[in-house]
Chains A and B, each alone.
Chain A
Amino acid sequence: MKHKRVLLLTLVSVVLLAFGCAAFAADTLVVGFSQIGAESGWRTAETESVISAAKDLGIDLKFSDAQQKQENQISAIRAFIAQGVDGILLAPVVETGWEPVLTEAKEAGIPVILLDRGITVADESLYVCKITSDFIFEGEQAAKWTAAELGGKGNVVQLQGTPGASAAIERQKGFEDELAKTPDIKILESQTGDFTMELGKQVMEAFLKKYGNDIDVVYAHNDDMGLGAVQAIKEAGLKPGADIKLITVDATKAAFEAMVAGEVNAVVECNPLLGPLAFETLKKALAGEKLDKWIVQVDQVFTKDQAASVIGSRKY
């Protein structure tokens, strides 16, 4: 009797194992994606890009929305590890505090790829690489456009993002360093508009009261603030895009619409459609390829003249 039972058990295990291997051999990649939340149109576009890329590639995607909380992201990653996923995509809400959970992932042999933001960890081998835009590059692009548009002479005001956000710090640094090459262009003032339309408008109102027609170009760290500034300029009885020119970062559809209407002059793209690149990179990592620590999503500048022809193909 006893022998028979052991035999049966062994048989069952072997069959199960065989099936398990068969499932594995079918090569359905299981990937966990811990997203920050859905706080902006930009992020929603990123989420959709990852979900649709997974569908196209036949990847089994486990999606988790952290609602802006790191603790939710950490527990999501633990759940992914427990489910034995093949890889993890992480859009980290903050820069620090990731060591413990990423160590667990590393010990489980699961590669982690960071999306759209970086993190600070002592041991960089805890993640494979980060795929983000280069905010400094974006700032430089804005400065180059500004310098060309003004012919090397004029006055600029800057609407900054949330204090401390890497996008705000680096978009400012890239812009100011590049603009320093044209000494006749002056930055009259910089003030934070917190990445929102409402504050962007309010800050621009104050700038207009102070400098009036002396402002030639407004540089906004994101589209929303720029669009707020457009309204402030209109209400001051001036023509945005003509009397005062605007360049913003992100290149959302709303900004393209404003460009078509002639109210914004140029946008620097910050592309959220990282899905395809993320999975391509993950596959390379699983195949054991050596990857750069930082894979840059290359962004470009669009101007008013191109807007009408490009707007149809914009996905966000």
Chain B
Amino acid sequence: MRQKLPDVLRSPYFWSLLFLAALLIFNILFTERFGVIEVRDGHFYGNIMDILRRSVPTVLLGTGMTLVIATGGIDLSVGAVIAVSGAIGALLARDGYPLPVIIALPLAAALISGVWNGFLVAKIGIQPFVATLILMVSGRGIAQLLCGGQIIKFSDPSFEYISAGFILGFPFSMYLAAAVLAAVQTVTRKTALGLFIESIGVNPAASRCVGINATSIKLIVYAFSGLCAGIAGLLLTTEIRGADANNVGLNLEMDAILATVIGGTAMTGGKFYLAGSVIGALIIQTLTTTILARGVTRPATLVVKAIVVISISLIQSSVFRSQLSGLLAGRGGRA
């Protein structure tokens, strides 16, 4: 007889939250000066603040990615869109354009990139993997062309505020991410949009039969994912006050997918968990910060990350969990 796990253990958030908490507790106990939070220049300063601030781009990307994955798709282009948006923002800032232009044009470019992905996927019917791969490759090239192979540096305090500014001691970018999350949560859960997205992911044919317009919903989610990448691009570019087209956002699409998967949203689409993706993003950044704070060497970093990801993914899988509990029950019986 198979034992049923208690409900709390099957919650999509339980295991990832447990892991995040364990990681933080481990660090606070064993990593030198990890838990110390000071007040410097009127804002909080410490490793934990770094985790919060640096996870914002992944949180944003993860939010867009979660919706895309829920429709059964994937968006590989977000890293490249970051580079494009950052390059445009940096060029405008360098040439002294007013702030609204510096913010609006990159975001418009990112939105267009997203709409383009959505168009290829929803209208033309190209597989999401391939459709977004096109922009993943070409987008970085476009950004490199814009920057002419150089890091475009700028100095514009009002633009830099989005990653260097603080409100009540907390980074401005955190509020930004919270606002985006709150908006998405409201739109998807207080309207039927969330349900439509999930139903497309679960069964596209049946959703069409009940009259859900998959084309426009897919367009919306890809466009939104592009927009999120655009915001992340502005954050990462202002972080170093320069557009580094070769490196900015490199492999971040993988982190966004990872955050989504760790958060409990299945790659096959269907039910999605925004809060889970946020926890996923926090786990990824906590791992990175832990590794830097403890001085682990780089090759080891990748192995550690891989092990963590595999364990969390396994434990998230209900199939694996039921097999495990079956195994445990079997052993208990024999003893």
A and B: partners? yes
* A72 interfacial contact with B, CB 8 Å: no
- How far does the alpha carbon of A192 sit from the alpha carbon of B299 in the complex, in Å? 10
Chain A stretch 191-213: residues in CB contact (< 8 A) with chain B: 191-192, 194, 196-198, 201-203, 205-206, 209-210
* A38 interfacial contact with B, CB 8 Å: yes
* A133 interfacial contact with B, CB 8 Å: no
* A277 interfacial contact with B, CB 8 Å: no
- How far does the alpha carbon of A197 sit from the alpha carbon of B292 in the complex, in Å? 16
* B190 interfacial contact with A, CB 8 Å: no
- How far does the alpha carbon of A231 sit from the alpha carbon of B244 in the complex, in Å? 15
Out of B33, B46, B153, B292, which one reaches A202, CB within 8 Å? Answer: B292
Contacts of A231 in B (CB 8 A): 240-241
- How far does the alpha carbon of A121 sit from the alpha carbon of B151 in the complex, in Å? 35
Q: What distance in Å separates the Cβ of A165 from its nearest Cβ neighbour in chain B?
A: 12
* B313 interfacial contact with A, CB 8 Å: no
* B149 interfacial contact with A, CB 8 Å: yes
- How far does the alpha carbon of A121 sit from the alpha carbon of B239 in the complex, in Å? 43
B41 touches A224 (CB 8 A): no
* A109 interfacial contact with B, CB 8 Å: no
Contacts of B240 in A (CB 8 A): 197-198, 201, 227-228, 231
A224 touches B33 (CB 8 A): no
* B248 interfacial contact with A, CB 8 Å: yes
- How far does the alpha carbon of A254 sit from the alpha carbon of B153 in the complex, in Å? 9
Q: Known contacts A206-B292, A210-B32; decide if A163 and B298 are in contact (CB<8 Å).
A: yes
Chain A stretch 47-91: residues in CB contact (< 8 A) with chain B: none
* A41 interfacial contact with B, CB 8 Å: yes
- How far does the alpha carbon of A192 sit from the alpha carbon of B144 in the complex, in Å? 24
Q: Known contacts A41-B149, A192-B298, A237-B40; decide if A197 and B242 are in contact (CB<8 Å).
A: yes
A201 touches B33 (CB 8 A): no
Contacts of B36 in A (CB 8 A): 209
Chain B stretch 273-310: residues in CB contact (< 8 A) with chain A: 288-289, 292-293, 295, 297-299
Out of B50, B144, B149, B246, which one reaches A209, CB within 8 Å? Answer: B50
Out of A41, A163, A202, which one reaches B151, CB within 8 Å? Answer: A41
Chain B residue nearest to A200 (CB atoms) is B240
Q: Known contacts A41-B151, A206-B289; decide if A224 and B50 are in contact (CB<8 Å).
A: no
Chain A stretch 217-232: residues in CB contact (< 8 A) with chain B: 224, 227-228, 231
Contacts of A235 in B (CB 8 A): 164
Contacts of B292 in A (CB 8 A): 191, 202-203, 205-206
Contacts of A103 in B (CB 8 A): none
Q: What distance in Å separates the Cβ of A182 from its nearest Cβ neighbour in chain B?
A: 23
- How far does the alpha carbon of A43 sit from the alpha carbon of B295 in the complex, in Å? 31
- How far does the alpha carbon of A197 sit from the alpha carbon of B246 in the complex, in Å? 11
Contacts of B246 in A (CB 8 A): 39-40
Chain B stretch 194-247: residues in CB contact (< 8 A) with chain A: 236, 239-242, 244, 246-247
Contacts of A41 in B (CB 8 A): 149-151
* B45 interfacial contact with A, CB 8 Å: yes
A106-119 contact mask (Cβ, 8 Å, vs B): 1 or 0: 00000000000000
- How far does the alpha carbon of A198 sit from the alpha carbon of B252 in the complex, in Å? 13
Chain A stretch 234-279: residues in CB contact (< 8 A) with chain B: 235-237, 254
- How many residues on chain A are close to B (CB under 8 Å)? 29
Q: Known contacts A191-B295, A197-B244, A237-B40; decide if A209 and B236 are in contact (CB<8 Å).
A: no
* B47 interfacial contact with A, CB 8 Å: yes
Q: What distance in Å separates the Cβ of B319 from its nearest Cβ neighbour in chain A?
A: 37
Contacts of A209 in B (CB 8 A): 33-34, 36, 46-47, 50, 293
- How far does the alpha carbon of A43 sit from the alpha carbon of B293 in the complex, in Å? 33
Contacts of A206 in B (CB 8 A): 47, 50, 289, 292-293
* B271 interfacial contact with A, CB 8 Å: no
Chain A stretch 151-167: residues in CB contact (< 8 A) with chain B: 163
Contacts of B144 in A (CB 8 A): 38
Q: What distance in Å separates the Cβ of B291 from its nearest Cβ neighbour in chain A?
A: 9
A201 touches B239 (CB 8 A): yes
B244 touches A224 (CB 8 A): yes
B149 touches A236 (CB 8 A): no
* A149 interfacial contact with B, CB 8 Å: no
Q: What distance in Å separates the Cβ of A137 from its nearest Cβ neighbour in chain B?
A: 25
Contacts of B45 in A (CB 8 A): 236-237
- How far does the alpha carbon of A38 sit from the alpha carbon of B292 in the complex, in Å? 30
* A303 interfacial contact with B, CB 8 Å: no
* A297 interfacial contact with B, CB 8 Å: no
- How far does the alpha carbon of A197 sit from the alpha carbon of B244 in the complex, in Å? 8
Q: Could you list 15 A-B pairs, sorted by A, with CB under 8 Å?
A: A38-B144, A40-B246, A41-B150, A192-B297, A196-B244, A196-B247, A197-B244, A198-B236, A198-B239, A202-B292, A205-B50, A205-B292, A206-B47, A227-B242, A235-B164
Which B residues form the contact surface with A (CB < 8 A)?
32-34, 36, 40-41, 45-47, 50, 54, 144, 148-151, 153, 164, 236, 239-242, 244, 246-248, 288-289, 292-293, 295, 297-299
Counting from the closest, the 8 A-B pairs by CB-CB distance are A206-B292, A38-B149, A196-B247, A197-B240, A44-B149, A41-B150, A192-B298, A237-B40
